[in-house]
Structure 1
Amino acid sequence: MDVFSRGYEKFGFVRSAEGITYREWAPGADSAALVGDFNNWDPNADHMSKNDLGIWEIFLPNNADGSPPIPHGSRVKVRMGTPSGTKDSIPAWIKYSVQTPGDIPYNGIYYDPPEEEKYVFKHPQPKRPKSLRIYETHVGMSSPEPKINTYANFRDEVLPRIKRLGYNAVQIMAIQEHSYYGSFGYHVTNFFAPSSRFGSPEDLKSLIDRAHELGLVVLMDVVHSHASNNTLDGLNGFDGTDTHYFHGGSRGHHWMWDSRVFNYGNKEVIRFLLSNARWWLEEYKFDGFRFDGATSMMYTHHGLQVTFTGSYHEYFGFATDVDAVVYLMLVNDLIHGFYPEAVTIGEDVSGMPTFALPVQVGGVGFDYRLHMAVADKWIELLKGNDEAWEMGNIVHTLTNRRWLEKCVTYAESHDQALVGDKTIAFWLMDKICMISWL
């Protein structure tokens, strides 16, 4: 598991003392060549070779003066001949991508700054709090001014406020690069790249380090439940086939979210996603994750247009995506095995049994289940008259949870509070949270 979950040390761009190796899994492609600013986008300059496992590879030696063959910050893509024609794609394992003003698709960037420009973490990661009080936020929307905020602004202006308000954790949305801003970052195009619209990777590291200095745990809103259906800057149709990384046909297309559904039974997809989780923990020192859309992952019907009553046949039947459930067990086992202080929260509205119990006792392995029913209940209550509030119904909603599980109760707002394991009294006192939602 240790080697398997470090795919970023094998795939994508890997720098060595001798040069740069680039590898990509694209079994459906007939040909592949690395193109970019470094070779004037010449598709005949740097052809790649393919092995029996469908992995393409090329090694570029250092220049005569010892400098890397691809300069830091230069644009790169892989040009592939596929069954559906020739296409240029951003490398699947790209660590940074940017949108050139006026261009719709993003450009992959070879990101390997010199040592003196790399951010060095100065502060230790905090221990996991016994009781989480989480402040959920979106960096770009964290300012009252009509502008896109930056990692630096958030670090200097918002983090101190979060600390003053008494929170001990901050959960950040929209970290993974995404083309469509309107979906709050949930249609990911480049899974290993932090969103460039807020600043550089070094800026994000500085933000996280500052949070750690303040004693704040930093959780990432990670999206492994689906992917953008973009073909120019995303994974969709990467090697020219409908089944690369995803299920083919209707099963591989999320009808509600207009996105692609991963094939969690494919070894290389599992390697990609496990390595992705580890990358953010290793490289950026995140302290854990909130896994978005776990319900959508665990069922072929995605939990949509289905009423869960608690009967076990609703959870264990032909509609259950067993491969996806096993993946969630694997990623939780990976995270807790290598990073014992890390926190994992799963967003599940179905009530899947054992969802927030350890893998060692047969559970899916999350530390907390995100208790979405509380948010839905508050919306329902606040839309009606106060006289219609039923205390028994409210208490039932707050206490209706699986035995022995820890839950995070949720008040969705894009720059206000998400609170953990609190009572109705706390909710009634936290008026800011209620007003923000309205």
Structure 2
Amino acid sequence: MDDRNHPPGKLKILEVDPWLGSYEQDLILRMKHYREMKRSLLGDDSQFKDFANGHQYFGFHPTDHGWVYREWAPAADALFLMGDFNGWNRNSHPLTAREAGVWEIFLEGRETLCHECRVKVHVVSKGTARDRIPLYIRRVVQDTETHDFCGQIWHPPESFHWTDSDFQLLPHRPPFIYECHIGMAQEEGKISSYREFEEIILPRVKTMGYNTIQLMAVMQHPYYASFGYHVSNYFAVSSWFGTPEDLKSLVNTAHQMGIAVLMDIVHSHAVKNIAEGINQFDGTVHQFFHEGERGNHSAWDSKLFNYGKHEVIHFLLSGIKFWLEEYHFDGFRFDGVTSMIYHDHGLGTAFDSYDKYFSANTDLEALTYLQFANELTKELRPDALSIAEDMSGMPGMCLPIETGGIGFDYRLSMGMPDFWVKTLEKPDENWQMGQMVHELSTSRPQEKRIAYVESHDQALVGDKTMIFRMADKEMYAHMRRGSQNLEVERAVALHKMARLITISLGSEGYLTFMGNEFGHPEWIDFPREGNGWSFQHCRRLWSLADNPALRYRDLYHFDQAMLQLMQTANLMGGSPLTLMVDEERKVIAYRSNSHVFLFNFHPTVSWEHLEIPLHDTGDYQVVLDSDEERFGGQGRISHEVVHSTYSLRLNPVYSGIAIYLPCRTGMVLGKNE
């Protein structure tokens, strides 16, 4: 964005959201900080894509006559390169200090460093001396005997051959996101690989109808059980799952299948480890992080970046450019945005008024960094997607920067799974239909949302997936087709209904964590000392969804049919017209384009000849219902009956239809043309 074309003044965000009028000065301050920081970084003419090139300068780079290696370590007194090439001698290869904290060494001969040889850098600073992993290293591996991590030169003799040059994201294609963790994607009790995911899981994703995968834990992390959120090396592909070439192959194949690939990027915090990570690389905390308590995340036990520091911005933005260009990712889901943009990280804060967004608790530097990150992403890939994991609902999160926004394309609707968890804690007869419609349909003006019932968060050990929360131990004995059990019947019915109403109430995108679509039982628990390093709960039991004798397959088929309908009928987004919200009957009805969605959440009562006002005339037929036998239902609804509109008996002013709506059933009617 060229801010010379957008001088300070009245911000468009105030027109989009009039409730922000009282906070105009806060928004002006936000944009003033953005412009001033951008100018201090780039001057008046440059773009972020010309600035974010740290990975092209620092780290290891072959030349015609050898190798050059550079580091940024402003507080260090001396650096020495060591590795296989010099017998791990800590003194034989000193780096030379240049300007602005840059250190450099030239190694004569291309054969000095070879593909896959191991390296570290010995850093001396203020009386301490540590062996460290280079900041911009592309690959980190663990020694099988000592279990220590070290850098590895990754320079294969032949570069990867990409064949995805024609792939691009269509501007109006809603993202149907399959959230994935590579390591736990297989049924076998082990850490799975990029190659196995490419060969086994990508075809499943395509068959199910998801057009986007979101890959977790791609950045190198030393502790597998961290789920990838304690990142140690910001330019290294996680070696838990394979090599950089393996990841490139996965992305390339996904693109050939028409599947976009998003990266779960972690710029919200860093692992505090010194031996494996970037903490105290030059001997100081303040190289990358805030000093004192501001630099520590009490809940996550990790380090917090100083987003006001030019060198930190350069480091992180270079990472964004690196992952987009080197691995052809199609965008990012930014982790921990709420933690970034508030000094208290949003912990325990109820964001129940606009005052909470514009106060001394708001981290203006973090907001500015996110604006830069989104601006850079669009400069490099105008079609790329950026998604904010923000539970606070910060106004303007998904508005363009030039309007006063932060520049994300979508916000992950984190309130939706929280709503479902709280709803399931109540007896079914106490569920509030009006509250359900409000929670699933309300958003900030012009904000695009990713809807979801549950992600990986709701499946972690100590919590329960939605279906396990409802059916619990009964799933072990009664998920076979034909088995009679009230808890399982309820769980299966509500599992389908929750997904259908969540995806269809106006959100512009949809997400599920792998396996949740078919009701994967139990929880996720990574191998750790407390469970005897077991993989029992760190895998996906695809055989459950593939077994025609089990009800998991019914849920799998419903999810598949639901996605197909939402895509082919173009039913994502917009503002569905609410037709009926009946608290006593537990009925919800709304219209989206030419389709009508009906839900009866009553646990026991089915409604005969229920009149539904459509405010439209024509003939309608059922095109999908959760009670179909192919989805494990009772088959109580005919798809052959034509429902013609008429002047309703109870209110002749309205035209509508009369229909049979069974208990615990959701259905969709299409208009006959």
Q: TM-score, structure 2 length as denominator?
A: 0.61
Who is 1:347 aligned against? 389
Q: What displacement does 1:120 show?
A: 0.9
Who is 1:166 aligned against? 209
Paired residues for 1:359-438 under 5 Å: 359-410=401-452, 411-413=454-456, 422-423=503-504, 432-433=516-517, 435-436=519-520
Q: What displacement does 1:384 show?
A: 3.7
Who is 2:45 aligned against? none
Q: What displacement does 1:6 show?
A: 1.5
CA contact (8 A) 2:399 2:447 kept: yes
SS in structure 2 of the partner of residue 113 of structure 1: coil
Unaligned runs of 5+ in 2: 1-47, 460-464, 467-498, 523-673
Q: What displacement does 1:68 show?
A: 3.1
Paired residues for 1:121-200 under 5 Å: 121-124=162-165, 125-128=167-170, 130-200=173-243
Distance 1:382 1:143, change over 3 A: farther
SS in structure 2 of the partner of residue 325 of structure 1: helix
SS in structure 1 of the partner of residue 138 of structure 2: coil
Distance 1:3 1:84, change over 3 A: farther
CA contact (8 A) 1:84 1:240 kept: no
Look up the equivalent residue of 2:392 and give its one-letter code. Answer: S
SS in structure 2 of the partner of residue 23 of structure 1: strand
- Measure the CA separation in 2 of the matches of 1:314 and 1:344: 24
- Measure the CA separation in 2 of the matches of 1:403 and 1:328: 20
Range moving further from structure 2, 385-394 or 274-283: 385-394
- Measure the CA separation in 2 of the matches of 1:401 and 1:164: 31
Distance 1:103 1:316, change over 3 A: farther
- Measure the CA separation in 2 of the matches of 1:336 and 1:256: 32
- Measure the CA separation in 1 of the matches of 2:76 and 2:399: 42
Look up the equivalent residue of 2:364 and give its one-letter code. Answer: V
CA contact (8 A) 1:98 1:108 kept: yes
Q: What displacement does 1:424 show?
A: 5.4
Distance 1:353 1:388, change over 3 A: same
Query: CA deviation digits over 1:97-137, x for unaligned, max 9?
Result: 0111133331110111112xx32111232323521110001
SS in structure 2 of the partner of residue 3 of structure 1: helix
Look up the equivalent residue of 2:387 and give its one-letter code. Answer: I
Task: Find out whether 1:333 has 2:375 as its counterpart.
Answer: yes
CA contact (8 A) 1:25 1:55 kept: yes
Who is 1:259 aligned against? 302
- Measure the CA separation in 1 of the matches of 2:293 and 2:456: 33
Task: Find out whether 1:49 has 2:108 as its counterpart.
Answer: no
Who is 1:203 aligned against? 246
RCO comparison, higher one (Cα < 8 Å, 6+): 1
Look up the equivalent residue of 2:520 and give its one-letter code. Answer: S
Q: What displacement does 1:2 show?
A: 2.5
- Measure the CA separation in 1 of the matches of 2:80 and 2:174: 51
**Larger gyration radius, structure 1 or structure 2:** 2
Q: What displacement does 1:434 show?
A: 7.4
Paired residues for 1:270-285 under 5 Å: 270-285=313-328
CA contact (8 A) 1:135 1:171 kept: yes
Range moving further from structure 2, 45-54 or 188-197: 45-54
Range moving further from structure 2, 393-402 or 182-191: 393-402
Range moving further from structure 2, 418-427 or 371-380: 418-427
Range moving further from structure 2, 35-44 or 253-262: 35-44
- Measure the CA separation in 2 of the matches of 1:412 and 1:381: 17
Q: What displacement does 1:419 show?
A: 11
Which of 235, 240, 249 aligns to 2:292? It is: 249
Which of 335, 343, 355 aligns to 1:292? It is: 335
Unaligned runs of 5+ in 1: none
- Measure the CA separation in 2 of the matches of 1:172 and 1:144: 18
Distance 1:425 1:335, change over 3 A: closer
Who is 1:23 aligned against? 70
Who is 2:571 aligned against? none
CA contact (8 A) 1:412 1:437 kept: no
CA contact (8 A) 1:132 1:421 kept: no
Q: What displacement does 1:322 show?
A: 1.0
Q: What displacement does 1:432 show?
A: 5.0
Look up the equivalent residue of 1:59 and give its one-letter code. Answer: F
Distance 1:253 1:434, change over 3 A: farther
- Measure the CA separation in 2 of the matches of 1:383 and 1:372: 18
- Measure the CA separation in 2 of the matches of 1:152 and 1:235: 29
Who is 2:107 aligned against? 60
Range moving further from structure 2, 86-95 or 129-138: 129-138
Q: What displacement does 1:84 show?
A: 5.2
Q: TM-score, structure 1 length as denominator?
A: 0.93
Seq. identity, %? 44
Q: Report how many aligned residue pairs link the two structures.
A: 430
SS in structure 1 of the partner of residue 61 of structure 2: strand
CA contact (8 A) 1:19 1:60 kept: yes
Which of 315, 327, 352 aligns to 1:309? It is: 352
Q: CA RMSD in A?
A: 2.4
SS in structure 2 of the partner of residue 91 of structure 1: coil
